[in-house]
Amino acid sequence: MTLKDFFGYIYEHYNKNLPFVAYSLPNTFETKALLQKDKTLYKIEDYNETGFVFAPFDIRKDAILMPYSKSRMLLTLDDVEVVNDKTLPFDIDNNQAHHIHLVEKGIESINKGKLQKVVLSRKEILDLETPLNPLKVFKTLLNNYNSAFVYCWYHPKVGMWLGATPETLLSIERNRFSTMALAGTQDYAGTLDVNWSPKEIEEQKMVSDYVEKVLQEHIKNIEVSEVQTVKAGRLLHLRTDILGELIDHSKSIQKLILKLHPTPAVCGLPKIDAMQFILDNEHYNREFYSGFLGELNKETKVQPRSGKRNIENTAYTFNKRSTNLFVNLRCMQLQDTKAILYVGGGITKDSNPENEWLETVNKTNTIKSVITTST
Question: Quick one: pLDDT at residue 321?
Answer: 87
Question: Quick one: pLDDT at residue 81?
Answer: 53
Question: Quick one: pLDDT at residue 187?
Answer: 87
Question: Quick one: pLDDT at residue 313?
Answer: 55
All domains of the chain in start order, with CATH: 3-180+257-373 (3.60.120.10)
Helix (H) or strand (E) holding 241: strand 235-246
CB 90: neighbour CB atoms within 10 A? Answer: 14
Question: Quick one: pLDDT at residue 310?
Answer: 57
Question: Quick one: pLDDT at residue 193?
Answer: 94
CA gap 181, 264 in Å, rounded: 9
Question: Quick one: pLDDT at residue 372?
Answer: 79
Cβ-based neighbours of 356, under 8 Å, separated by 6 or more: 99, 100, 103, 120, 345, 347
What are the angstrom distances between the C-alpha of 130 and each of 15, 16, 160, 209, 247? 17, 21, 16, 46, 52
**Mean pLDDT per 10-residue interval, the chain, length 375 residues:** 92 97 94 98 96 96 98 84 40 72 97 96 93 94 92 98 95 93 89 94 92 92 96 89 87 87 93 96 96 95 59 61 95 96 94 94 84 77
Helices (H), the chain: 3-15, 96-111, 134-144, 198-215, 249-260, 271-281, 311-315, 353-373
In 3D, which of 267, 291, 260 has the Cα closest to residue 54? 291
In 3D, which of 330, 324, 328 has the Cα closest to residue 141? 330
In 3D, which of 374, 279, 369 has the Cα closest to residue 330? 369
Q: b/e string for 251-272 if b means 16 or more Cβ within 10 A?
A: ebbeebbebbbbbbbbbbbbbe
Q: Model pTM?
A: 0.90
Q: Is 18 helix (H, G, I), strand (E, B) or coil?
A: coil
Beta pairing, strands 149-155 & 159-165: antiparallel
CA gap 343, 364 in Å, rounded: 7
